[in-house]
Structure 1
């Protein structure tokens, strides 16, 4: 199917579960520039990439009003290559990365703090109990704005269990927002992928990252 048909089907599903649809990020990391352009032509304006090379290629190829999200793990030594091209970083997952962003960025970078809500060994991110102190430690950082939290839930079929993970991230987001920290409004939630986005939306997701189901 073409991207326009896929997007229409996804939007219909979203409308059935919420009156406040999230921003759909087209995850184009496994597809060609032409396929990404097809997603743009279908009306999508948010694109997610997890490798620096692919990120820079797609950003150069697509029109300037496209918004680019870096959604992969970012090595500290690679920060200087990409950080000033990023509209949103979804993978702020350690202090050394924050320090390097503060050093290399020439403008404020909108960041999601990555949280490993399920405690999976294979996933990056802070444990939930570590997030508050990490964010509070960023209060004097001028180049980082914590716009929200991000998680990758386990790849399981049990949607009830998935919703408990997403609900936990929502509670944590609200606690950080309540701090009133100027550089950490933390109003957003980046959660939900091709297999679990409806559960994520039901628990308050504001950005969903869709690859397979949208662009293949």
Structure 2
């Protein structure tokens, strides 16, 4: 058994056990394998072991790996520059990091050119970290209203990146906050806004995130091991 197969089995076991503890269905949790710095061979190994969706942080990595990796849904999960949208608009299944109106307008423009509706998640910086991107909680409703004229974008939910803490319990409050916002927006039934995915939780804290309502988790280190982000 390869370490990737073993890791995936362990992650799925933890998802199952967490869901079983709180009365949720494990099949409702979408696992995104984060493939930052991971070569195509190992990505394909993960796909062989049942991974259906992968998340990349950088447009350059998607472009580099795209032709060598197949039978998988691509997600852009990192900060996206407006001038890079045109390179991935026809390649990715979902953009997780929508956080400003000029980016929304560019995505809409490029999606229209390809005659497709682009699924996106709105990134919220719940903890107000200066080193992280995302909207402040107080900005989300106005942002969604400003997006109403953009006919080629479908908001599918919210995403956050919690601060890294040794004890995952320390970030539970941020997950609670985003879950509450998720439910409030769902009730409003805004045009082209469907609160379907609540993307929160990574290798260190995904079990707490699931307990607080996440149905999409992004796991990289837990599947592929520690990586050198400087190379």
* TM-score bracket relative to the smaller structure: over 0.9
CA contact (8 A) 1:29 1:54 kept: yes
Secondary structure, in 3 states, of the residue corresponding to 2:64?
Answer: helix
The within-5 A match list for 1:37-186 is 37-63=44-70, 65-105=71-111, 106=114, 107-186=116-195
* Residues 1-53 of structure 1, C-alpha deviations (whole Å, 9 max, x = no match): 52111011111111111132311111111211000011001011100111112
**1:87 deviation in Å?**
0.4
Q: TM-score, normalised by structure 2?
A: 0.90
Distance 1:162 1:87 in 2: 28
**1:158 deviation in Å?**
3.2
Q: Which residue of 1 aligns with 2:200?
A: 191
**1:110 deviation in Å?**
0.6
Secondary structure, in 3 states, of the residue corresponding to 1:44?
Answer: coil
**1:140 deviation in Å?**
2.1
Secondary structure, in 3 states, of the residue corresponding to 1:185?
Answer: strand
CA contact (8 A) 1:108 1:145 kept: yes
- Unpaired runs of 5+ in structure 1? none
Secondary structure, in 3 states, of the residue corresponding to 1:6?
Answer: helix
CA contact (8 A) 1:4 1:39 kept: yes
Q: Which residue of 2 aligns with 1:215?
A: 224
CA contact (8 A) 2:108 2:152 kept: yes
Compute the RMSD of aligned alpha carbons.
Answer: 1.2
Report the more deviating stretch, 47-56 or 143-152: 47-56
Report the more deviating stretch, 139-148 or 14-23: 14-23
Distance 1:49 1:159 in 2: 24
**1:161 deviation in Å?**
2.6
**1:134 deviation in Å?**
0.4
Runs of 4 or more, structure 1, over 6 Å off, are none
Q: TM-score, normalised by structure 1?
A: 0.96
Secondary structure, in 3 states, of the residue corresponding to 2:120?
Answer: strand
